[in-house]
């Protein structure tokens, strides 16, 4: 999974070079996967150190951070369909 971190700088370079938006989007989508995993690991470490009550609250809050970030950035850039797809995916994943 760590090899997907290569997509982070690649997505930034593709965006900077103004390559086709679908290519930039796909690269950025692959970049989000390892970043979300790293956030999850960091959240678990903090939760373990802070105890069950605060840790549970932290897990519940930061566990959805990647989804919130994607939605906020999508709305700021006029990508309502991406936001709708993200919300739909989140709902289906939590069923």
d(CA 23, CA 73): 18
Instruction: Scan for tokens 């593709």, then name that residue.
Output: 14
d(CA 31, CA 1): 10
Using the 8-state DSSP alphabet, how is residue 61 labeled? H
Kindly state the helix (H) or strand (E) to which residue 50 belongs, with its residue range.
helix 21-50
Contact predicate 6/26, CB 8 Å: no
- Reported as a pLDDT band with limits 50, 70 and 90, residue 95 is confident
Domain boundaries along the sequence of the chain: 2-94
| pTM of the entire predicted model | 0.64
Q: Give residue-wise pLDDT tens across range 18-61.
A: 999 999 999 998 998 898 888 888 888 888 888 888 888 888 88
């Amino acid at each position: 999974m760590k090899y997907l971190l290569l997509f982070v700088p690649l997505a930034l370079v593709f965006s900077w070079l103004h390559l086709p938006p679908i290519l930039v989007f796909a690269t950025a989508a692959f970049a989000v996967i390892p970043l979300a995993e790293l956030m999850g690991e960091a959240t678990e470490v903090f939760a373990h150190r802070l105890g069950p009550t605060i840790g549970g609250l932290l897990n519940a809050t930061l566990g959805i951070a990647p989804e919130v970030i994607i939605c906020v950035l999508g709305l700021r850039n006029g990508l309502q369909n991406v936001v709708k797809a993200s919300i739909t995916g989140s709902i289906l994943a939590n069923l």
